[in-house]
Structure 1
């Protein structure tokens, strides 16, 4: 779909209903652990973590030569020191880590290639030359040109090295995370002591997760949780002497009670359906948590036509808030706009809570009015590159700080739980056309409309299938040639654009309808110079 207008516009994809989540994850604190329970959890996690590190090293060494036979060999080696199911969980996690690192490596190569192309293009232009909307111009000064020429050499060297690693199948993965590893050399900047860092490092490298298996008791044989909340762990072979139950199992004194989606979880474990579990420690809070997860089929909630019925809510995503406006089925704004703010400063937990709180307010508003939510299908991965925007550091930081991926995933998951449909639209020109065509008409003396609120109207109209751009005001009634003809409603190449608009059945006003001639749409019938005029024949009488 392409909206007609002046200039060359890129193709605009049609809106679509976003698919629901593919999985569910719930978490609960393991309360009431005894010192013996914590000791067993640490010993099991450290032992399995060391096995996971060795297996990851073997997988990275295999590179592109890895196959199913080597996978089976790795699993047999781990089974001797743990169990068959623990070995299966470790090897599967290792494979997922290697595949994720491989995809990240390819994305890094694509980003460096874009940077090299941009720098080479700008270096080829004269210093101080202006750019266009599609391509940047030359650099501002000779000093900047020289600095960028050196950066081009550095990026080219890094690109060659990354390509060589990718072709050879070499990836670099750190169990526990590269950020935590680098903090070891910058403890003062991270505001950590060596003891605190060591505790986080050990907690991040422990392995206490097991995949579910349908048909087995309570859906998991390795980490088993009963519907009453009793947690038991199958101990590895070297730690079997710590078992306090039969078949080499250790039963924790504490119990878990999932408050969120607890009924769904109990239905699954009662039916012996697969549930995956992960036990991890929060060092700062000195707490242990259990996360349960399972997969669900991705389905569309309702068709697009049903989601449009009755209107919807258009939402514009920004760095610090969500701008929303309700629209009826005809694309007209209804009521006042809403703003759902969030603060992305502080810790990861604080930022996550802020995004979740804003989405809760938005979805509850949509649920009260039984409306769908329209949001842009944003992908800002290419917009965060350093070379594309040059000196615009604030703009780059603004784009990098927008929680697009997290917000989109959370919105889809939370909306599916409340039965709300999410409609994704193409983000092209929504901010520009919204501010151009909707900001001024919607602004009143007591309600100033921002650019983001006008963009929300544009997003909602595109989701409803209506054009964003409005007709320009008609020319003065006294002289149509003084103000010119309207050019927004139809492009010059539009067929039959000079003909009148189709007549809507029914009276449009309470006045008497004017007499309609048969040739109203004929240009020759209008009162113009050089053209015949329609005359009514006169009856001659004597």
Structure 2
């Protein structure tokens, strides 16, 4: 099985009323067949029997039935694979909710917030019980048309519906708003049911095989002038890969068969009309980076991306901070902002010839954090999509030929704050990116100080003594103790109001001299105490 990624490109179709109604009918038949197939599969009817009956009942071709079946099996498999993660996620939510309730009972007994937390805890426990029951029984719950739209019928006025008939119209339209056309590498143009050809003007001409159950005068519909603003070259490359080759069987017989690249299509209807999504397998790209040149580390945060570049010995070369102002942005706007930042990072990797090192993050733990953080941070975390911030650098790196190294994220923030922040005059997030880059190169992560000076958000710092390291254990066991000890000074600093105070100003003599130490990196909010060496002012003659 190929390990190359599959990229999907989209464009909007320009249709006349007859073509639009034809696609509407195709989508309605496709949706009805898929819902019926799901009900029959749950009843335990054998798949071969279902295929024969569905070909006659809906007038489908064998390839169209396979597309419906594979799409349905994909939905079922995604639910089954996701359910264990949802169970663990619900357990984490419940644990955080119980901790929050315990704190509220001490600080705000009898408050409305405590009541709401208790209600939420009861809802989470009910949800967990339902998930565990479905997991044990193997039941799959699939709502065609989305559960969100289905529940809107119980509050029509709040959701902008004048009557139940208006909601039902939207519900039926949503359940029949798309259809999938499966491709294969051994078919002409990578697809038997929808074949694309290049027109003289450079656009694509799609020839879609319709279902016999539609009862139309023609079995095919032709869509002219299809152009993709982005991805046209990749689609043309996939179409040109189809060719006839001669292969030898196990018995020594020579046979002719077609090889190429599979091209799958998905037609989707929205409020503006119909769009087509084309999925093609990416072609391999030669690497332009080498680990001997160094590495570029990436630390993902909800409001910015911290980037640190090292040379081959692991020394810091430069850092960057790419802001992500995603609060209040739509999904497409957030995707564009993250994509632009990722392209800048990949461009830096390409110019320097260094691979990109990213963390292998657990997204379930990130979601559970929302239960126990303050409302401002919770809104910030909700606006940020960690999944996009992980997938987009990988996709951009693959296209540019940049190697991506994934590392364990354990203790990178602590290592960056303790080992690198004060030493290089950088912030904790830049220090974490530096630690990620060094881990990708396999360099040492031993503690370099005995007394840690860790910067805080307002430009100050907290100080604590590192615990004694047991050299018979892995170095991460030492960092686990450091992380536990780091929580106390941060908590004390926050309780004292230090996070809300401005940083300590420089002395008048220091401002008059303007003495600063040359640093390899000069980020925002650098620790001002590092601008000059201790005792340098006492050695001056005045």
| TM-score (structure 1 length as normaliser) | 0.69
Aligned match for 1:463, one of 437, 440, 444: 440
Is the counterpart of residue 282 in structure 1 residue 270 in structure 2?
yes
Q: Distance in 1 between matches of 2:100 and 2:156?
A: 40
Is the counterpart of residue 420 in structure 1 residue 420 in structure 2?
no
1:85-96 equivalences under 5 Å are 85-96=63-74
1:11-410 equivalences under 5 Å are 21-30=4-13, 32-59=14-41, 61-62=42-43, 66=44, 70-80=46-56, 81=58, 82-116=60-94, 140=107, 143=110, 155-183=124-152, 198=169, 202-203=173-174, 205-228=176-199, 229-243=204-218, 248-257=219-228, 258-269=231-242, 273-283=261-271, 286-295=272-281, 307-343=290-326, 345-385=328-368, 390=372, 392-410=374-392
CA separation of 1:120 and 1:241: change in aligned 2, threshold 3 A: closer
Cα deviation for residue 155 of structure 1 reads 4.4
1:44-69 CA distances to partner (integer Å, 9 max, x unpaired)? 1122222222222333x33xxx4xx6
Cα deviation for residue 201 of structure 1 reads 6.2
Q: CA RMSD in A?
A: 3.8
Q: Which has the higher strand share?
A: 2
Residues 235 and 280 of structure 2 are in contact (CA less than 8 Å); yes or no, is this contact kept in structure 1? no
Structure number with larger C-alpha Rg:
1
Tell me the secondary structure at the aligned position of residue 381 of structure 1: helix
Cα deviation for residue 492 of structure 1 reads 6.0
Tell me the secondary structure at the aligned position of residue 365 of structure 2: coil
Q: Distance in 1 between matches of 2:362 and 2:264?
A: 31
CA separation of 1:148 and 1:189: change in aligned 2, threshold 3 A: closer
Residues 71 and 91 of structure 1 are in contact (CA less than 8 Å); yes or no, is this contact kept in structure 2? no
Cα deviation for residue 327 of structure 1 reads 0.8
Segments of 5+ residues of structure 1 without an aligned counterpart are 1-18, 129-136, 444-448, 475-486, 496-542
Which shifted more, 76-85 or 326-335? Answer: 76-85
Q: Distance in 1 between matches of 2:4 and 2:209?
A: 31
Residues 26 and 214 of structure 2 are in contact (CA less than 8 Å); yes or no, is this contact kept in structure 1? yes
Q: Distance in 1 between matches of 2:126 and 2:153?
A: 28
Q: Distance in 1 between matches of 2:337 and 2:157?
A: 28
Which shifted more, 194-203 or 87-96? Answer: 194-203
Q: Distance in 2 between matches of 1:464 and 1:212?
A: 40
| TM-score (structure 2 length as normaliser) | 0.69
Cα deviation for residue 318 of structure 1 reads 0.8
Tell me the secondary structure at the aligned position of residue 139 of structure 2: coil
Which shifted more, 369-378 or 463-472? Answer: 463-472
CA separation of 1:344 and 1:148: change in aligned 2, threshold 3 A: closer
Segments of 5+ residues of structure 2 without an aligned counterpart are 244-258, 452-464, 474-542
CA separation of 1:214 and 1:366: change in aligned 2, threshold 3 A: closer
Which shifted more, 88-97 or 199-208? Answer: 199-208
Q: Distance in 1 between matches of 2:221 and 2:214?
A: 10
Residues 196 and 207 of structure 2 are in contact (CA less than 8 Å); yes or no, is this contact kept in structure 1? yes
CA separation of 1:192 and 1:310: change in aligned 2, threshold 3 A: farther
